[in-house]
Amino acid sequence: MRDAPPQGTYKVQALDRAFSVLDLLGESDTPLGLAQVASSLQLHKSTAHRFLMVLERHRMVERTGNGKFRLGLRLFDYGNRAIEQYDLRDRAQPHLRRLVAETEETAHLALLEAARVIYIDKIEPARSVRMITRIGASNPVHCTSVGKAILAFLPEERAAEIVRRVRFERFTHRTITTTEALRTELEKTRRRGYAVDDEEFEEGLRCIAVPVLDAQRQPVAAVSVSGPSFRVTAQKLPSIANHLLQCVRGISVDMGYVSAGRGSRVAVSA
Amino acid sequence: MRDAPPQGTYKVQALDRAFSVLDLLGESDTPLGLAQVASSLQLHKSTAHRFLMVLERHRMVERTGNGKFRLGLRLFDYGNRAIEQYDLRDRAQPHLRRLVAETEETAHLALLEAARVIYIDKIEPARSVRMITRIGASNPVHCTSVGKAILAFLPEERAAEIVRRVRFERFTHRTITTTEALRTELEKTRRRGYAVDDEEFEEGLRCIAVPVLDAQRQPVAAVSVSGPSFRVTAQKLPSIANHLLQCVRGISVDMGYVSAGRGSRVAVSA
DNA sequence: ACGCGAATCTCATATTCTGAGAAACTCGCC
DNA sequence: GGCGAGTTTCTCAGAATATGAGATTCGCGT
């Protein structure tokens, strides 16, 4: 319903329907009964019922005590297999933890997918307000520090292709909403070596990010530090950026991308 | 193929096939080409192709540069939504981190599903050999400390029902393989207040776990500490158990299950 | 340039899914 | 303790849907 229209030349109705069921359950924060599922998706109850039973057999959904349905833990298994192939999260975690200890703010690890970034890990400092981000969630590139960090260090061509696909949704009065502004911003990011999201996604939230580069110096992910603007002040950015650079450097070494020796190419000015 | 036979009265062929594709990709540690998928699953290439295209549109699979397929990050999204409903992982993490700092061994957080336990989080100490567990993976109850911890504190009836479904697969020479032995072991677990897996799942690996109890004093999860037998010695168990109890108590408080005041009911003898 | 394996596409066919509706539950309420 | 509205479960004939043989195109190695 609220989702991308199932356009495209190949179609398997049953799959589209099954996934719309999963979407529905995924977006609801309370389990749903058969009747609710059926009516929300305009499926006839028998059909919805059959799908739910099959999905349940596969443990893609499970029923709560009172017979309502929610997403099943098989999905969690699949999901973790999916990112396991990247192997990045496990190796990055200790470095992220150190980063959080140093900065006392929340750290995120994110990957680029299509024109969005996907958060694959989050570490929060002990005593901080909980951030609303959900691991696994995705945000557009243009309004996030991680997005800009990756984009800025991608080869011109790939970056341009992604920028072309950005839809420039506006989130706050500071959100970048034109290709031109984004290009300028990326240029700036390249120069200083780190990306900043200055309340462009959420009022009062400032983030700063640097890319994780692989052996070919291609960005494969980005690490960010986020916190309330009054704590993450402009003056502190260079210092945080340094912690970030140290962190991603550690990750790169652990991933075997670079040997531990040489210094980082991206420079932090100011 | 290697998977549970798609028995059950309700059937949607397309879904069974789609999930078998996901299973295949999930179990392969290298991306697979269309031809490989088709032949492994005995699907005709057109069919496999159509499925893969549809799955790709839904981002359930993605293609690598050379045109091969692997699991897509949408699954990661779904998976995290699935456990988000439990809300447990986020809240438990700081406590697990403290536990790891105290014990210097790996901690796991696991849920019970059917007759298996599913690991929903893992924290490793800074300098330790990597454990092979994958978050999202599942193991049988009978040979894991977390499984026994949950089982032991479940109401007699539910526990019995689960025990009935255990298939008692043997992993090491110490694995419990009879209902009787398991019952005795659970009794012992209840008495001392914590569960032990003494190389019953993996040679040389000793684990100890206690359940996380909700407001109704029902176990909803378990936390374990695992390490090589030579470090996690029998003498150390009571001390580790105490750290564990403190940890789960903290989790329960954070989840709002119990007020911070009163002491824990499960007693650690010895 | 050529050839082989792999991927993509087309389309007529029958297999598979569909959905109306009937039956069996579940509660809440009297 | 039983009535009734709202759900869930089940059955089955019909028809839309997925299927797979095969033709076509692609991509790469020689």
In Å, how far is B30's CA from the nearest CA of chain A? Answer: 8
The Cα–Cα gap between B220 and B123 comes to 19
The two beta strands, A116-123 and A106-113, are antiparallel
How does pLDDT run along chain A (270 residues), one tens digit per residue?
333 334 457 888 999 999 999 999 999 988 999 999 999 999 998 999 999 999 999 999 999 888 899 999 999 999 999 988 788 998 899 999 999 999 999 999 999 988 899 999 999 998 767 787 889 999 999 999 999 999 999 998 889 989 998 999 999 999 999 999 999 999 999 999 999 999 999 999 999 999 999 888 889 999 999 999 999 999 999 999 999 999 999 999 988 887 765 444 454 544
C1'-nearest nucleotide to the CA of B16? C16
pLDDT tens sequence across A9-55 = 788 899 999 999 999 999 998 899 999 999 999 999 899 999 999 99
pLDDT tens sequence across A12-22 = 899 999 999 99
Nearest chain A residue (CA) to B112: A73
Return the pLDDT at B84: 85
**pLDDT surpassing 90 at residue B154:** yes
Residue, of A257 and B77, whose pLDDT is higher = B77
pLDDT tens sequence across B207-234 = 999 999 988 888 999 999 999 999 999 9
In the predicted model, what is the mean pLDDT of residues B87-106? 92
Q: Which of these, B231, B209, B234, B208, lies nearest to B222 by C-alpha position? A: B209
Helix (H) or strand (E) holding B22: helix B13-27
Return the pLDDT at A8: 56
Return the pLDDT at B115: 87
First to last CA, chain A: 49
The Cα–Cα gap between A251 and A88 comes to 8
3-state secondary structure labels for all residues of A10-68? CCCHHHHHHHHHHHHHHHCCCCECHHHHHHHHCCCHHHHHHHHHHHHHCCCEEECCCCC
Return the pLDDT at A130: 73
B5: pLDDT confidence band, cut at 50, 70 and 90?
A: very low
The pTM score is: 0.87
Asked whether strand D has any atom less than 7 Å from the CB of B46, the reply is yes
C1'-nearest nucleotide to the CA of B13? C16
- Closest amino acid to nucleotide C15 (CA–C1'): B13
Return the pLDDT at B8: 57
Asked whether strand D has any atom less than 7 Å from the CB of A34, the reply is yes
**pLDDT surpassing 70 at residue B3:** no
Distance from residue B10's CA to nucleotide D18's C1', rounded to whole Å: 18
What is the total residue count of chain B? 270
Widest pairwise Cα distance in chain B: 65
Nearest chain A residue (CA) to B23: A78
Residue B233 tokens read as: 């010695």
Residue, of B244 and B65, whose pLDDT is higher = B244
Give B-chain residues touching A101 at CB under 8 angstroms.
none
Return the pLDDT at B2: 33
Give A-chain residues touching B82 at CB under 8 angstroms.
26, 70-73, 75-76, 79
Residue B227 tokens read as: 């390490």
C1'-nearest nucleotide to the CA of B46? D20
Residue A153 tokens read as: 């260090």
Return the pLDDT at B87: 82
Give B-chain residues touching A12 at CB under 8 angstroms.
14, 18, 50-51, 54
In Å, how far is A3's CA from the nearest CA of chain B? Answer: 10
Distance from residue B81's CA to nucleotide C26's C1', rounded to whole Å: 30
